[in-house]
Structure 1
Amino acid sequence: MELYSSDNSKAQAADIDEIRLAVKLAAQKREKDCAALLGILRQLEELHRDIRETLFQDSLPTNRQHLYHLLRDIELNGGWPYIQRIKLTQLLATLEDESTLEASED
């Protein structure tokens, strides 16, 4: 097993699946509630930041060899975790599309 392998153990995979399912169910319960869904996204972003700034940073490599293994694992297994935010232009385009649709219905 590699030093910084991001391959999940069975226990870790089960934990992640449980979390994923819980978040998905919470979002589905609020399917048409934009404010509630935004709240869920904000909580996920906060959790991501908290893990990154505490537990993850505390676990970073302390020597070059370990750093090399971590960077190699990141390169091979999907890069750096990132939470993408919706762009304001995308939001405005959606509003424009809806207003155009409403105008054509009148």
Structure 2
Amino acid sequence: MGSLSTFIPLIIFVAIFYFLLIRPQQKRTKETKEMQSSLSRGDKIVTIGGLQGTIDSIDDQTVVLRCGTSKLTFERSAIRGVLKKSGANVHAENEKKDAKEESAEKAEN
């Protein structure tokens, strides 16, 4: 019985560590991957270095950004966030959100 009581604080510590550190990091990583996979031509983005530009072209690994009159090539993973989706993408993103909301409502009922 004594050995069980010594493991309980360790188990609690591991559970707290998981819910406060590991799980939120996994969620951020998933959101970043989803954002990077939904990029398309015309989106206004910001890189991890703070450079802002518009996507001129994109493939599986690289993104060509138009910044004023210059074009710069970056790895897709160097994109931190989307500032503004292009017009065609806004409609597609809204449809995805609506579908997620509907599935969440069905799951609640």
TM interval, shorter chain, is 0.3 to 0.5
Rg larger in structure: 2
User: Structure 1 or 2: larger helix share?
Assistant: 1
User: Structure 1 or 2: larger strand share?
Assistant: 2
Q: Of the two structures, which has the highest relative contact order with CA contacts closer than 8 Å and spacing of 6 or more?
A: 1
TM-score, normalised by the number of residues in structure 1: 0.35
TM-score, normalised by the number of residues in structure 2: 0.34
